[in-house]
């Protein structure tokens, strides 16, 4: 089961996991793009059931997820749906009036995705839960503090839940990518070092999930740099973070 499957990494993951014998549930807000993803997945031999649902709609999410699980018990649920927000003008600050929507999508949307299925996985003593953080959780960019905060919350939640669910046979992982060539990354202008394709990122995520890693972070040089900057003196860290500013292009989810 993959949310955010109508574009970006969610779409790439759907295609990566597709194949004969696979049954995929795909969720996305854009019906046309979701149908395109579903068609590509079917071409690879997978059985697909999809629904155009907003992850913020708790009741609709719960209804679809439980119906799907009753027909094909979910062994892996990937909450990849999300949105970003950066400063609207060069040198400015983010529009905090839009932070509520961002948290609703990134945090509540993720909870709406996993909440109906987690108890069932624990009861079956099997399954994988996958949340999406970001390298921004470790090195918060000054041009997208709300986005970074939402991703840091998901990292903390995933690591805590991983420890809690281990005894129930359920694995929890958090994906923390760097820059990936997706519509979300294209929604803002900034320096984007080591940016990779969505297909490459999906392959890395799948390898990490096969190993049931706690944190699936890539590319490694950026991950190490993000962790290292946490130990820098505040003056150096601030100077480094402010050296490359980002500015919004289009609001993309």
Which pLDDT does position 245 carry in this prediction? 66
pTM: 0.91
Query: Which residue of the set 147, 165, 188, 223 is catalytic?
Result: 147
**Considering just the CA atoms, what is the radius of gyration of the chain in Å?**
18
Q: How far apart are CA 236 and CA 97, in angstroms?
A: 30
C-beta separation of 178 from 222 below 8 A: yes
**Per-residue model confidence as pLDDT tens digits over 192-251:** 889 999 999 999 999 999 999 999 999 999 999 999 988 888 888 787 777 766 677 754
Predicted pLDDT at 13: 98
Q: For residue 223, indicate whether it is catalytic.
A: no
Where the chain has pLDDT below 50, the residues are 251-253
């Amino acid at each position: 089961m993959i949310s955010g499957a109508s574009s970006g990494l969610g779409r790439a993951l759907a295609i990566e996991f597709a194949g004969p014998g696979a049954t995929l549930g795909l969720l996305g807000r854009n019906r046309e793009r979701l149908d395109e993803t579903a068609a590509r997945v079917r071409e690879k031999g997978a059985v697909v059931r999809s629904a155009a649902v907003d992850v913020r709609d708790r009741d609709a999410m719960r209804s679809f997820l439980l119906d799907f699980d009753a027909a094909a018990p979910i062994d892996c649920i990937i909450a990849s749906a999300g949105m970003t927000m950066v400063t609207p003008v060069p040198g400015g600050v983010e529009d905090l009036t839009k932070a509520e929507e961002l948290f609703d999508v990134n945090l509540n949307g993720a909870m709406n995705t996993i909440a109906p299925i987690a108890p069932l996985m624990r009861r079956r003593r099997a399954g994988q839960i996958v949340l999406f953080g970001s390298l921004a959780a470790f090195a918060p960019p000054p041009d997208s503090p709300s986005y970074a905060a939402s991703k840091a919350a998901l990292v903390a939640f995933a690591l805590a839940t991983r420890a809690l669910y281990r005894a129930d046979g359920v694995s929890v992982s958090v994906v923390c990518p760097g820059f990936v060539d997706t519509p979300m990354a294209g929604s803002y202008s900034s320096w984007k070092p080591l940016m990779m394709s969505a297909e490459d990122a999906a392959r890395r995520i799948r390898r990490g999930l096969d190993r049931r890693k706690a944190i699936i972070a890539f590319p490694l040089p950026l991950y190490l740099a993000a962790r290292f900057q946490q130990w820098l003196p505040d003056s150096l860290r601030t100077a480094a973070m402010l050296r490359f500013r980002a500015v919004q292009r289009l609001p993309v989810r």
